[in-house]
Chain A
Amino acid sequence: MSALNYQGINETVAAVTGEREQIADGLLGIAKLDRRQFIKLTGLVGGGLMLSFTLPRAAAAGGPLKPNGYVRIDADGITLLAKNPEVGQGVKTSLPMIVAEELDAAWDDVTVVQSPIDAATYGMQFAGGSMSIPMNWTPLRQAGATARAMLVGAAAKQLGVPAEELSTRDSHVIHEASGRKLKYTALAADAAEMPVPDAASLTLKSTGDFRLLGKRITGVDNEALVRGEALFGIDVSVPGMKYAVYQKCPAIGGKAKSANLAEIKAMPGVHDAFILDGNDNAMDLLPGVAIIAESTWAAIRAKRALAVEWDETEASKDSWSAAVAEAESLRGEAGERVVDEGDVDAAFESAAERVSGYYTYHFVSHAQLEPQNTTASFADGALEIWSPTQTPDWGMDAVARATGIDKSKITLHQMRCGGGFGRRLYNDFMCEAAAITQRAGVPVKLQWTREDDMAYDLYRAGGFHQLEGSVDAEGKVTGWRDHFITFANDGRPVSGGALGQGVFPNGLVPNVRFEQTALDWKNRCAAWRAPGANVFGFVVQSFLHELAAAAGRDHLEVLLEVFGEPRWLVPDNPGTLNTERAANVVKLAAEKAGWGRDMPDGRALGLAFYFSHMGHIAEVADVSVDTDKKIKVHKVTVAADVGPIVNLSGAENQMQGSVVDGLSTMMGLSVTFENGRVQQSNFDKYPLLRMGATPKVDVHFVDSDFSPTGLGEPALPPLAPAVCNAIYSATGRRIRTLPISEEGYTV
């Protein structure tokens, strides 16, 4: 392998969406799209071709009713197909609920199955950017309404009445006038012979008529989960399967020169061992040593005995301590100007108060609980894969690049993912399994250990922000400058490594300048839940509080003043921040949390707002701090405007989980590097939050008529600044570093 190359998912996504810029922030950048592109992606208004929707197929005569890829009804029942990967964000339940609503199927009558991976039928199938709901909302409603119209048509024929006299409810077509009811399952065969209506001709329900959406529905896999049934990638077993592990160089970019393969092959239970060279693409197949064994344990045992001589000529020498020192030397300098609105220098000169702060945060790992794995079987030139991936189609592209097997010869089975958080947008593990079965000629289940997972993650990058701000004599925020020192992989800005037009407070504060300097970095960095926003939220919402404090003003009042008049930040662009929606959630969170009430000594409320993934979210944290810097987060009040709620149970679960994930990450999580090697190897050194530190979470959704948007990510960014602002208000100590354990805080 020559110099590291990071081509892969970013380019593929860009090609599909036609929007290269979107990918600079991972899959976040919907806010940057112009209106035309936004409509194309989300289908917010009629008329455009939805990327995720394909024209209905002709129904098979006499067969089950299957007018599209999402609905199958026969005499035995109603089956709805869930198109996107389930990673814990709840889409295997929420997407079929949208179909069921317009179909007027009783949810208890519905069986949900994971759909095949089939771009021709389903368009883009992926779990990322909180995009499942916004991209599929209209197409799935149309899919349900299409099937409903055909059932009504068949009933009209059977009953000999006009279709206009018929209504539908609970999986039945009803003729009120005569009191007759026909079951969908009984109508399916006749309905299958009805013409498939043009989706655009169908009238969809108004939100007030929803019977299912907005209710609390338990996840469709929950019963199988609590019984311990096989669901996840790691649970797959296929005939003749062996168990594989793969050892890569501890410093990414290193290549295996030799290994004690004879010794390894002689170990009990070991079937084979060999070196793979990789495909020169760090996102696909890194060089390494494969071991194939009769059981996972035999493979892990052999991996522990493996001795590899690595060629580290091209390997990473990344050092976090060196990056910290370099950023320290650069922070006083100017960076490349990426946003420059108004006249920041003039604002600073005429300021009543000027404030500066140096904010830093560490790299973090995804640490999804199911370690990477994939089962793959290569036989007769064809490759079959079972994988817990967030991007199945792009995974097949990566496998084709890594193995030379044509994509048309690859079949992929989507498995449930034991967490994703963005890690499984990248399919290096899938490429490894494919390359190993291709070479070994036996089906294999590749299993990463936790140590592999932490050493070969695609990390959320750390960063450094030198901030200056000003307020005028009336205490208004007038100027804001941020010099962001970030990282670049092979000259490409890492995910979350670019301040852009959509970053707070651009468009809200009159004079704003964002500058950037990127440090070279070899370890792979990529999207981590709410890319960009998850760290920018901490920096900018903490610093705004610093300015409010410098002006001697109430944080809530300053935040509402910064939003100003009701407007979309980019006129008429529903992908951008709407100041009225923002103000509404901030006021709601403040009201529900009792903002402004007297608090005991050492305890305070902290406020933060962030807009990301088209979601407007405000959080108020109620925090106490003792003299040993031990904190207790008593309660977090969340207010969100994400349009109508699809599944209230799932939506609240995402809010609660985002609060806990945000707290977990800000409290104690960091990944550091020295000599290219990751210094943390398992959960003993990467202390995810445990139950005892969990706050109460009080969730409120604004009842709004905007098109619904996703909830996998946007509630995470406001948590850290809300907690840090509370700590400041309780103690007078400003926290400018994440995780806060770096400053001696414990939970």
Chain B
Amino acid sequence: MASLRVNVNGEVREVDASDPATPLLWVLRDELGLVGTKFGCGISQCGACTVLLDGNPVKSCSFPVSGVGDSTVTTIEGLAGSAGELNPVQQAWVDLDVAQCGYCQSGQIMAAEALLRSNPDPDDAAIDAAMAGNLCRCGTYVRIREGVKTAAASMKEGRT
């Protein structure tokens, strides 16, 4: 079996590469058991499958595993600290009770994480733009927006 090595959440994992076009999503879910990354549409429309590739948000349902190369993949399971403590985005989501069904929220959190890594103090327009690729069918956008701001504030506090 042809195999590939991918760096996921800081660990190098050997995965099946017999079909290099296999979307990263299914490698994460079926092969590595990292089921926090969700399947929603399969065509890069809903963002439920969002992961970070070298810190940038990527729709893993439409990203072939062979494209990962030497980049590092971060999934929702890789956000918490080494002692298991929630990162600021995760903590804001819990504190504000953002989720309803919760299915889209892994992707929302990853998109928010990517935004805050590049723009630690986003305004509404920047938040709307960065989150535009992530659908929430339950309509929790009001709280997602608040969650991003809360996380930004707590990250700022953490830095000073």
Residue positions of A touching B, CB distance < 8 A: 86-90, 216-219, 221-223, 225-232, 234-235, 237, 243, 268-269, 295-298, 300-301, 367-371, 416-421, 447, 449-451, 649-650, 653-654, 656-661, 664, 682-684, 688-692, 694, 696-697
Q: Does B122 contact A (CB under 8 A)?
A: no
Contact B142–A660 (Cβ < 8 Å)? yes
A661 vs B141: C-alpha distance when bound (angstroms): 10
- Nearest Cβ in chain B — how far from A247, in angstroms? 15
Contact B102–A653 (Cβ < 8 Å)? no
- Nearest Cβ in chain A — how far from B81, in angstroms? 12
Contact A225–B99 (Cβ < 8 Å)? yes
Provide the B14-30 mask, 1 if CB < 8 A to any CB of A, else 0.
00001100110010011
Contact B103–A370 (Cβ < 8 Å)? yes
Q: Which of A227, A300, A447, A450 has the most CB of B within 10 A?
A: A227
- Inter-chain contacts of B30 with A (CB < 8 A): 243, 295-297
* Set B86, B96, B102: member contacting A416, Cβ < 8 A: B102
- Inter-chain contacts of A87 with B (CB < 8 A): 101
Contact A656–B23 (Cβ < 8 Å)? no
- Inter-chain contacts of B41 with A (CB < 8 A): 450, 682-683
Q: Does B144 contact A (CB under 8 A)?
A: yes
- Nearest Cβ in chain B — how far from A302, in angstroms? 11
Closest residue of chain B to A699 (Cβ to Cβ) is B142
Contact B40–A371 (Cβ < 8 Å)? yes
Closest residue of chain B to A295 (Cβ to Cβ) is B30
- Inter-chain contacts of B95 with A (CB < 8 A): 218
Provide the B33-52 mask, 1 if CB < 8 A to any CB of A, else 0.
11111111111011010000
Contact A417–B101 (Cβ < 8 Å)? yes
- Inter-chain contacts of B42 with A (CB < 8 A): 300, 449-451, 682
Contact B141–A419 (Cβ < 8 Å)? no
Contact B100–A88 (Cβ < 8 Å)? yes
- Nearest Cβ in chain B — how far from A8, in angstroms? 24
* Set A268, A300, A301, A419: member contacting B138, Cβ < 8 A: A419
- Inter-chain contacts of A421 with B (CB < 8 A): 137
- Inter-chain contacts of A656 with B (CB < 8 A): 139-140, 142-143
- Nearest Cβ in chain B — how far from A231, in angstroms? 7
- Nearest Cβ in chain B — how far from A114, in angstroms? 14
A-B contact pairs, 12 of them (CB 8 A): A219-B99, A222-B93, A227-B79, A235-B35, A368-B103, A370-B40, A649-B97, A654-B100, A656-B139, A688-B137, A690-B141, A696-B142
Q: Does B123 contact A (CB under 8 A)?
A: no
Contact B137–A226 (Cβ < 8 Å)? no
A561 vs B34: C-alpha distance when bound (angstroms): 58
A295 vs B144: C-alpha distance when bound (angstroms): 33
- Inter-chain contacts of B12 with A (CB < 8 A): none
Q: Which of B23, B137, B141 has the most CB of A within 10 A?
A: B137
Contact A661–B31 (Cβ < 8 Å)? no
- Inter-chain contacts of A223 with B (CB < 8 A): 86, 94
A269 vs B46: C-alpha distance when bound (angstroms): 27
Provide the B110-140 mask, 1 if CB < 8 A to any CB of A, else 0.
0000000000000000011101101111111
Closest residue of chain A to B31 (Cβ to Cβ) is A295
A297 vs B17: C-alpha distance when bound (angstroms): 12
* Set B36, B43, B103, B129: member contacting A227, Cβ < 8 A: B36
Contact A369–B143 (Cβ < 8 Å)? no
Residue positions of B touching A, CB distance < 8 A: 18-19, 22-23, 26, 29-31, 33-43, 45-46, 48, 75-77, 79-80, 86, 90, 93-106, 109, 127-129, 131-132, 134-145
Contact B142–A697 (Cβ < 8 Å)? yes
A594 vs B38: C-alpha distance when bound (angstroms): 42
- Inter-chain contacts of B35 with A (CB < 8 A): 228, 230, 234-235, 237
Closest 9 CB pairs of A and B: A228-B36, A660-B139, A418-B103, A88-B101, A228-B76, A88-B100, A683-B45, A657-B139, A692-B128
A234 vs B40: C-alpha distance when bound (angstroms): 11
- Inter-chain contacts of A225 with B (CB < 8 A): 93, 99, 102, 105-106
Contact A301–B19 (Cβ < 8 Å)? yes
Contact A222–B94 (Cβ < 8 Å)? yes
Contact A297–B19 (Cβ < 8 Å)? yes
Contact B138–A657 (Cβ < 8 Å)? yes
A690 vs B100: C-alpha distance when bound (angstroms): 16
- Inter-chain contacts of A234 with B (CB < 8 A): 35, 38-39
Additional 16 contacts, C-beta under 8 A, given A222-B93, A232-B103, A268-B18: A222-B99, A226-B86, A228-B75, A268-B19, A295-B22, A297-B26, A368-B137, A369-B101, A369-B137, A418-B102, A419-B103, A660-B141, A660-B142, A682-B43, A683-B45, A689-B141
Closest residue of chain B to A659 (Cβ to Cβ) is B139
A299 vs B108: C-alpha distance when bound (angstroms): 27
* Set A228, A295, A370: member contacting B77, Cβ < 8 A: A228
Contact A418–B38 (Cβ < 8 Å)? yes
A222 vs B98: C-alpha distance when bound (angstroms): 8
Contact A691–B131 (Cβ < 8 Å)? yes
- Nearest Cβ in chain A — how far from B108, in angstroms? 9
- Inter-chain contacts of B136 with A (CB < 8 A): 369, 660, 691
Closest residue of chain B to A366 (Cβ to Cβ) is B137
* Set B22, B34, B137: member contacting A228, Cβ < 8 A: B34
- Inter-chain contacts of A418 with B (CB < 8 A): 38, 101-104
A65 vs B86: C-alpha distance when bound (angstroms): 34
- Nearest Cβ in chain B — how far from A282, in angstroms? 25
- Inter-chain contacts of B106 with A (CB < 8 A): 225-226, 228
Contact A89–B103 (Cβ < 8 Å)? no
Contact B40–A369 (Cβ < 8 Å)? yes
- Nearest Cβ in chain A — how far from B91, in angstroms? 8
Contact A692–B132 (Cβ < 8 Å)? yes
Contact B132–A657 (Cβ < 8 Å)? no
- Inter-chain contacts of A650 with B (CB < 8 A): 97
Q: Which of A226, A296, A416, A664 has the most CB of B within 10 A?
A: A226
Contact A228–B86 (Cβ < 8 Å)? no
Closest residue of chain B to A421 (Cβ to Cβ) is B137
* Given contact pairs A369-B135, A688-B135, A221 touches B43 in the complex (Cβ within 8 A): no
